[in-house]
Amino acid sequence: MVVLLSLLAPLRPWLIQYTVDNHIASGDYAGLVTMTILMVITLVLETVFRYLFSYASAWLGQSAVKDLRQRLFKHLSRMRLKFFDRTPIGTLTTRTVSDVETISEVFSQGLLTIVGDILQLITLLVVMLVTDWKLTLVSLSVLPLLLYSTWLFKEKVKASFQEVRTQVARLNAFTQEHISGMSIVQIFNREKAESTKFKQINSELNGANLRGIFYYSVFFPVVDIITAASLGLLVWWGAHGALREELTIGKLIAFILYVNQFFRPIRLLADKFNSLQMGMVASERVFKLLDTEEIIPDTGTYSPSALQGEISMQGMWFAYESEQFVLRDISFELAAGKKLALVGATGAGKSSIINVLGRFYEFQRGEVLLDGIPIRDYKIDHLRQHIGIILQDVFLFSGTIADNISLRNPDITLEQIKAMAAYTGIDKFIEKLPGQYNYEVNERGYALSAGQRQLIAFLRAMVYNPAILVLDEATSSIDSETEHLLQEATSKLTQGRTSILIAHRLSTIRDADQILVIDKGEIAERGNHAALLRKNGLYRKLYEMQFHDTTLTEL
């Protein structure tokens, strides 16, 4: 299509020249009609080819964007959590949505159209030189000035576009963060201060856009003036030639059309180069993200259909950042079907043990075994399939309660969800909601209470029937009624299942087979509830802080 359009570009002016000089000048009406029909056919063909080219290039761009966006999201879903700890979500949203969309312009408005315009310019230049080289030189004498203006415009707009993309990423990151945390903004009466900060970022984006608009508003009138000057020189020189009968009227008319066709692509070429450059800038950012190897290596091949649930950590050391260890020499054995409790102050490293067990983060030293096999020998998806984790901060997606429990897994039916809810007693609160299991949960589940979200998270973990159940502070922020319901459900479902409980409320872990007291990343004490109380150590102090009104001897 590009080649055909470049060849068709000079055909209509040449046909007009031929018609004027050979049929109109001699009064040949029949020849005029024939040539007019031929010009209409040429125009229709050019229109059809241009439509097909525009549609095909846009289709190519959108198809590339679809594939690239899917690849990028798949890559992000495999990134280790450490990457998201230090990368603003708004920036990743910009990369996935805005930057990828900009890349589509490389196809629809960039590379292909630039090639087409250049081919058209070359074809027109050859035809013009063959037709009349003197008239060509006169009409294109202003070309150096136009090329310089175009180059200057391209460089200025490129800089402004890069600044625009940077400011858009900043604005997206700020907006996403503050809308998500709007409750904190309002609780601490920070609306005015945050609005002022938003106004500053928005003003910087506005300024970057206005600079680009300024360059456009200057460049296009300059091109129009240069084009008008070229036409003026052409008419002046051509009129003299026509008066001296050195030049035909048809040739002069054709050259006026040639000049318009020649300068129009140059006028748009700078803008298309900028689209190409912006696509390159966006693609550089997107491919940099794709090339980021923040992925936990999935080199394991072991993928059992079932696990016993025996856990062993031997001299395990872990750091989120290199050599800044938050866990030191962690060693314990947990037999299949037994219950382990982890207690300690906030930041002691309890949750980090769970992060290591599920390979959400990689440990640096020691060994972690599951059923006697190193966890790095397992395929990651099979490893996590057998570990159910209930977090304190529950994240719910937009959709129904049933969708949030099954996470739209087609292998989990509504009947299975209802059966598990009835078995645990959680069905009572769901059946009171409008629509019950089809009740629509708003974004992040803010329409539900913390306790209700926790119950849904509990069901979410249990319908996957994990061999290992982890409750990470799962009852620390719920009401006593919901806590009682969860404790009953937990006692049913932890029976005979390997369980790890992380809790601030020590009353919930009295029946644990083994309790580890974590202090500053190390195991300070271990034993069951009664044995740890008799030690008069850190566990007893933690217990007395919560139950100072209770006589310990009665417990």
- Asked if residue 323 has pLDDT above 60, the reply is yes
Work out the mean pLDDT of the chain and round it to a whole number: 79
Q: All domains of the chain, ordered by start, with CATH? A: 2-176+209-290 (1.20.1560.10), 311-554 (3.40.50.300)
- 280 backbone φψ class: left, alpha, beta (φ>0; ψ -120 to 50): alpha
Instruction: Over range 184-206, report the average pLDDT.
Output: 81
Instruction: Return the bridge partners of 370, or none.
Output: 311, 373
Q: Tokens standing for 249? A: 């009227």
What does the pLDDT average to over 488-505? 76
Reference 516, options 370, 323, 339, 397; nearest CA is 339
**Rounded-to-integer distance, Cα 279 and Cα 99, Å:** 8
Q: In this structure, how many other beta carbons lie within 10 angstroms of the beta carbon of residue 156?
A: 19
What mean pLDDT comes out for the span 292-319? 82
pLDDT at 478: 60
The Cα 472–Cα 350 span in angstroms is 9
Give per-residue pLDDT as tens, 274-294: 677 777 777 777 888 887 777
pLDDT for res 137: 84
| Cα dist from 347 to 463, 503, 521, 529, whole Å | 30, 13, 8, 22
548 pLDDT higher than 60: no
- CB within 8 A of 127, min separation 6: which ones? 10, 14, 258
pLDDT digits (tens, 9 = 90+) for 150-181: 778 777 777 777 788 788 878 877 887 777 77
Say what the pLDDT of residue 534 is. Answer: 82
Whether residue 477 has pLDDT greater than 60: no
Split at pLDDT 50, 70, 90, the class of 551 is: very low
pLDDT at 85: 66
Name the 3-class secondary structure at 1. coil
Q: State residue 219's pLDDT score.
A: 80
Q: Which of 261, 230, 240 is nearest to 16 (CA)?
A: 261
User: pLDDT, tens digit, for every residue of 87-122?
Assistant: 667 677 777 777 777 777 777 666 777 777 788 888
pLDDT band at 183 (very low <50, low <70, confident <90, very high): low
